[in-house]
Amino acid sequence: MTSLFIEQHERGIAFYLNGDLQFDTDDEAIYHEYLVIPALALAIERFPDTDLRVLICGGGDGLAAREVLRFPQVSHIDLVDYNPAVVELGKTTFKAYNQDSLTSDRLTIHFQDAWEFLASVPASTYQVIIGDFTYPTCREDTKIYSLEWFQKVNLALDNGGIFTTNGVSPEYRTAGFWCLYQTLLAAGFHAKPLQINIPSFRQDGYGNWGFFLAAEQVITRDELDAIAFPTNLQVLSQPAWLNAFQFESRIANFRHQVYIHCLDKPQLSYYLLNPTVAILDDSDEANFGLLDFIDLQELGTGQISQRDLLQLESTAKAWLEHFQSSSNLPANAPDLNKLFPLQHHYHSPKMRAEWLSYIKQFLAEIDILRLLNKMLERAQELPPHIAGELRSLAHKIRTGQPIVNISPSMVQFLIVLSTTLLMANLVTPDAVFAKGSYSRSSGSSSGSSINWSSLSHNQSTGMTLFGIGSLLLAAFGLTFIDWTGGKNDE
Amino acid sequence: MMNKIINTSPNIGLKIKTLHPEDRDLWDRFGQALPTAAFMQSWAWSDFKALEGYQVFRYGIFDRHQLVGGCLFYFYPHHGKANLLISPGGPILTADYLETGMKLLIQQAEILGKELGAIAWRIEPQWQHKPDCLSAFVKAPVELSPSETLLIDLQPSEAQILQSMKQKGRYNLRLSWRAGVTVEFTTDSQAIPKFYELFWETVKQQEFFGEPYGFFINLCQTLFAAKMAEIGFARWQGKLLAAMILVYWGDRATYLYGGRSFAYPQVRAPSALHWGAIQRAKQRGCKIYDFYGFTRDPDHNYAKFSQFKSQFGGIPYTTIGAGDYFLYDQLADTLINLLQNLGGDRR
């Protein structure tokens, strides 16, 4: 399903696709000129006397195509967009803004997934490929920012061809931005990052916006100094554009601290959802000043991570590692992004902190005997020492013996259970917003007056886990959180 | 009215079936006719949730060919086997089919849980008392929607409703009338940004969690198309001072979201807006105005909102809240896989 919304304002329109801003006519020219014009101008310099073939991936609104069509050297444009509804708007409502670009006889529209389209394209087909995709809001959306995607793009480009793509905000999504940079380098591109201020994006909370200009052959300063822009542009000027390659060092230095994004071990969603990983130490002198990427020719330093940090298994590993390090190092502050990464773009670190305060209640819900019995039915699949510990725990609960000490194996079991319960609750976007104690603007109660416990024979064993959960959390050093859950935002 | 059957033998004649688009009207008519039905179990709401990325599973329970209950299950896909099935406002079942209907739905939840990788099914039926059929459910630590609310009976005349308000409420309303605050309702989607501006001002001022703009675009566009919601504004001297989203379902109008400007408090725009919404709901034939969230606890964080709402009179109404049915086979499976993959290191 797709949601299309055109907000009309005094000066024009803003277009939202599935709730995300695509463009505002107030300043879309900034985005589209920076995305398209330099790449085309560079391609003209690199491929003189050539009929250029251009591929636009996404861009069904026709605005990127408008910019490409400025260049008479372009003989053909393929535009691939999977969404016919957007293209229809591009041909009608947006026609006045894209100068009717989508009906150009130099342009062919393909209603197809860009990934599939590119898979069918012969090598070296295009001199320019433009990535004009929407901001990735879920894991599936990040496929077209992966190593594998960039490799496909590289293959489809003519020798020396130019790839230009929008990125994310280097300011607010620093790790995500450099993850894209390192992924481009890993795919064999020489990539130049650049950033600009787009007021409507900033107003929507995106911060400075990033782009990449990339090619398999090194892009040199001489080339960039020599290219000529068309004369009738709305906003782009060569001096301003050349400045866009400069980044504050404190932002730029972060580029060596990220993993690349590939399909097997995706990282981009994690970086975008958990942006606080980009917080940098301002006290370090190396973080001051500017770094100009025009003069920088560097090889990639990004590695493929061993973990997909949004996966339950990674979370459980992070908890176990933290527990081990907590045992050795007192006052080791936990990295909540790793211990419990945000899973949805609606969520915030503040929400997570509140949500974590429910961990004991989550544990208290569990009929531990029933769970243990279910697990012990498959005891042969468990590591033997854990199976033994679970048997022992089941026996203690059954016979009413106190549980005073938690063995390391039991910690492992409890960590796995706790992270599973937390993850299950946190991956559902509504569960966070609708949490009873702070639900919605119209307010709500923190709980029902109905006593559910009388319904449940599980509560006694659940309370056992509640107590164990307290011990576990104390052991974790997570006691800085207000576990009472009584401290709400409202 | 549904035909009453005596279920001496549980599932005789009773079947659970997937609901298809052609069943939409049947399902919605059934839901709207029940006083315990919630808008979150409406087809349009499930369309909205689908737009938000949820998978929706719709099941009806039929006694022969007659729909007697059912449930919409929502599942937010995630790579992994730690997830929930949720049914805000559901299930919906007629009294005579509680036991047998619930059994079928639990069986369905178990099937879905296995297919999808969910470890629990969280329900939130709009019932005031726990039926025995929920004995396998435990109280969820969090709600999906407010379990305590304040309801205004819209069946008396406007004058009587006014009379039932607290004196302070009438006073505030008269202030707004004297100041010339006007109220309007619309389904024009161009009202969404105006609503959001006021909503977000309130979020910032009150420091509570607020959904992003895109959420409201999806919500309003879906519910407007289904004629299930309107945006209301209170305006004074050309300025928009308060806004709300009012949802209509069955005989109930629910104040779902709201926001206000913190300028010109003396003209009492929110009071005028709620009164306008009460009038609007009454005109549309609704019998209940639901403030969607209320607390009698003076120490609760939302106590001051509730104090404002209580100026309109009304009766507090409490439902049983959210309950979880754990799918222990699935939970055990997830834990075993994890323990295997983590190596089960002896530490």
Contact A312 B338 (CB under 8 A): yes
A203 or A384, which is more confident: A384
pLDDT for A466: 54
Q: Which residue of A has its CA nearest to B210?
A: A440
In whole numbers, what is the pLDDT of chain A averaged over residues? 86
Residue B81 — very low, low, confident or very high, per pLDDT cuts 50/70/90? Answer: confident
b/e code B195-223 from CB counts within 10 Å (16+ = b)? bbebbbbbbeebebbbbebbbbbbbbbbb
Q: Which residue of B has its CA nearest to A386?
A: B344
pLDDT for A448: 35
SS3 category, A191: strand
Report chain A residues whose CB lies below 8 A from the CB of B209: 348, 350-351, 432-433, 438, 489
pLDDT for A329: 54
pLDDT for A280: 53
Report chain A residues whose CB lies below 8 A from the CB of B78: 343, 427
pLDDT digits (tens, 9 = 90+) for B97-106: 999 999 999 9
B132 or A465, which is more confident: B132
Report chain B residues whose CB lies below 8 A from the CB of A367: 138, 326, 328
pLDDT of A430 above 90: no
Domains of chain B (ranges; CATH) run 14-142+321-341 (3.40.630.30), 148-318 (3.40.630.30)
pLDDT digits (tens, 9 = 90+) for A187-206: 999 999 999 999 988 887 78
Report chain B residues whose CB lies below 8 A from the CB of A427: 76, 78, 80, 82-84
Which listed residue (A132, A141, A158, A282) is catalytic? A132
Residue A182 corresponds to which tokens in the numbers above? 């390192």
pLDDT for A485: 33
Q: Pick A436's closest partner by Cβ from B82, B142, B309.
A: B142
Contact A459 B138 (CB under 8 A): yes
Q: Pick B215's closest partner by Cβ from A19, A364, A385.
A: A19
pLDDT-above-90 percentage for chain A: 64
pLDDT-above-70 percentage for chain B: 95
How far does the CA of residue A153 sit from the closest CA of chain B (Å)?
27
pLDDT for B23: 98
Q: Catalytic site residue A308?
A: no
pLDDT for A439: 36
Q: Pick A427's closest partner by Cβ from B76, B143, B211.
A: B76
pLDDT for A435: 44
Residue B4 — very low, low, confident or very high, per pLDDT cuts 50/70/90? Answer: very low
Q: Which residue of B has its CA nearest to A372?
A: B332
C-beta separation of A348 from B209 below 8 A = yes
Residue A320 — very low, low, confident or very high, per pLDDT cuts 50/70/90? Answer: confident
Mean pLDDT calculated for residue range B139-155: 93
pLDDT for A151: 98
pLDDT for A409: 86
Please identify which residue in the block is written with the tokens 């945000």: A342
Report chain A residues whose CB lies below 8 A from the CB of B148: 444-445, 448-449
Residue A281 corresponds to which tokens in the numbers above? 């130490």
How far does the CA of residue B110 sit from the closest CA of chain A (Å)?
15
Residues in contact with B48: Cβ distance below 8 Å, sequence separation at least 6, in sequence order: B218, B219, B222, B223
A20 or A328, which is more confident: A20
pLDDT for A326: 64
pLDDT for A476: 52
Mean pLDDT calculated for residue range A199-228: 93
Substitution target in A369, A371, A386, A440 with the highest count of B β-carbons within 10 Å is A440
pLDDT of A179 above 90: yes
Residue A417's nearest CA partner among B138, B342, B141 is B342
Please identify which residue in the block is written with the tokens 């709300």: B244
Residues in contact with B69: Cβ distance below 8 Å, sequence separation at least 6, in sequence order: B60, B61, B91, B92, B93, B94, B97, B101, B105
Q: Domain extents for chain A?
A: 4-292, 312-476
* CA–centroid distance for B164 within its chain: 26
Q: Pick B207's closest partner by Cβ from A138, A442, A490.
A: A490
SS3 category, A121: coil
A226 or B9, which is more confident: A226
pLDDT for A277: 46
Contact B328 A420 (CB under 8 A): no
Q: Pick A424's closest partner by Cβ from B119, B146, B297.
A: B119
pLDDT for A453: 44
In whole numbers, what is the pLDDT of chain B averaged over residues? 93
Q: Pick A455's closest partner by Cβ from B134, B215, B347.
A: B134
A372 or A451, which is more confident: A372
pLDDT for A467: 56
Q: Which residue of A has its CA nearest to B78?
A: A427
pLDDT digits (tens, 9 = 90+) for A112-152: 999 999 999 999 999 999 999 999 988 899 999 999 999 99
Say whether the peptide bond before residue A72 is cis (omega within 30 degrees of 0).
no
Report chain A residues whose CB lies below 8 A from the CB of B222: 3
pLDDT of B247 above 60: yes
B134 or A408, which is more confident: B134
pLDDT for B115: 95
pLDDT-above-90 percentage for chain B: 84
CATH 3.40.50.150 assigned to domain A4-292? The reply is: yes
pLDDT of B238 above 50: yes
Residue A281 — very low, low, confident or very high, per pLDDT cuts 50/70/90? Answer: low
Report chain B residues whose CB lies below 8 A from the CB of A433: 209, 211
Q: Which residue of A has its CA nearest to B306?
A: A443
State the Cα–Cα distance between residues A158 and B340, nearest whole angstrom: 48
Mean pLDDT calculated for residue range B153-167: 97
How far does the CA of residue B64 sit from the closest CA of chain A (Å)?
32
Q: Pick B84's closest partner by Cβ from A19, A377, A424.
A: A424
Please identify which residue in the block is written with the tokens 């026609």: A95
How far does the CA of residue B325 sit from the closest CA of chain A (Å)?
10
Q: Which of A48-52, A96-100, A203-207, B56-60 bottoms out in mean pLDDT, i.e. has the lowest?
A: A203-207
Contact B82 A432 (CB under 8 A): no
Name the residue type at position B42: S
State the Cα–Cα distance between residues B241 and B329, nearest whole angstrom: 53
**Count of A–B CB contacts within 8 Å?**
306
pLDDT for B322: 95
Contact B135 A456 (CB under 8 A): yes
Q: Which residue of A has its CA nearest to B149?
A: A444
pLDDT of B8 above 50: no
B92 has which bridge partners? B70
A207 or A4, which is more confident: A4
Contact B88 A434 (CB under 8 A): yes
Residue A474 — very low, low, confident or very high, per pLDDT cuts 50/70/90? Answer: low
How far does the CA of residue A396 sit from the closest CA of chain B (Å)?
20
Please identify which residue in the block is written with the tokens 């559902």: A428
pLDDT for A442: 35
pLDDT for A468: 56
Contact B256 A442 (CB under 8 A): yes
Using CA atoms, how far residue A222 sits from A218, A226, A242, B91, in Å, is 11, 6, 12, 68
Q: Which residue of A has its CA nearest to B150?
A: A444
C-alpha neighbours within 13 Å on the C-beta side of residue B166: 13
pLDDT digits (tens, 9 = 90+) for B296-325: 888 887 788 899 999 999 999 999 999 999
State the Cα–Cα distance between residues A394 and A398, nearest whole angstrom: 6
Residue A325 — very low, low, confident or very high, per pLDDT cuts 50/70/90? Answer: confident
pLDDT of A464 above 90: no
Report chain B residues whose CB lies below 8 A from the CB of A267: none
pLDDT of A444 above 70: no
pLDDT for A332: 58
